[in-house]
């Protein structure tokens, strides 16, 4: 029987690659995942912050508090790269 992949193991596989982070509320981040801890606080590099207003902010390296993280999308490049559902 194949052993199942735990959620945090999936995130561990993403270390070194691009990831898209969707926060509670309207904020989103896209960056290269450098590392994370048990609280899913994460270190991201070459980050773009997507604001509620639709503005972008570039950041070199950040420690993102895990408290307000809602969803993680491996390989994601932020809202622009995503294909929206057609009406």
30, 22 contact by CB (below 8 A): no
Among 11, 32, 34, 77, binds another protein (CB under 8 A): 34
Angle at 14 between CA 51 and CA 6, to 5 degrees: 110
Is 5 strand, coil or helix?
Answer: coil
List, in sequence order, the alpha helices (H) in the chain.
7-13
If binding means CB under 8 A, how many residues of this protein chain bind another protein?
Answer: 19
Q: Map the footprint of another protein across residues 44-83, applying CB under 8 A.
A: 47, 59-65, 67-68
User: Is 17 one of the binding residues for another protein (CB under 8 A)?
Assistant: no
User: Is 36 one of the binding residues for another protein (CB under 8 A)?
Assistant: yes
* Binding interface with another protein (CB under 8 A): 23, 27, 34-37, 41-43, 47, 59-65, 67-68
């Amino acid at each position: 029987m194949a052993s199942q992949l735990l959620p945090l193991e999936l995130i561990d596989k993403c270390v070194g690659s691009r990831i898209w982070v969707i926060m509670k509320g309207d904020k989103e981040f896209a960056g290269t995942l450098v590392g994370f801890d048990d609280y899913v606080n994460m270190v991201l590099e070459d980050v773009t912050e997507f604001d509620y207003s639709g503005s972008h902010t570039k950041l070199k390296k950040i420690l993102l508090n895990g408290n307000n993280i809602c969803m993680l999308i491996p390989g994601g490049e932020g809202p622009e790269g995503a294909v929206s559902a057609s009406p």
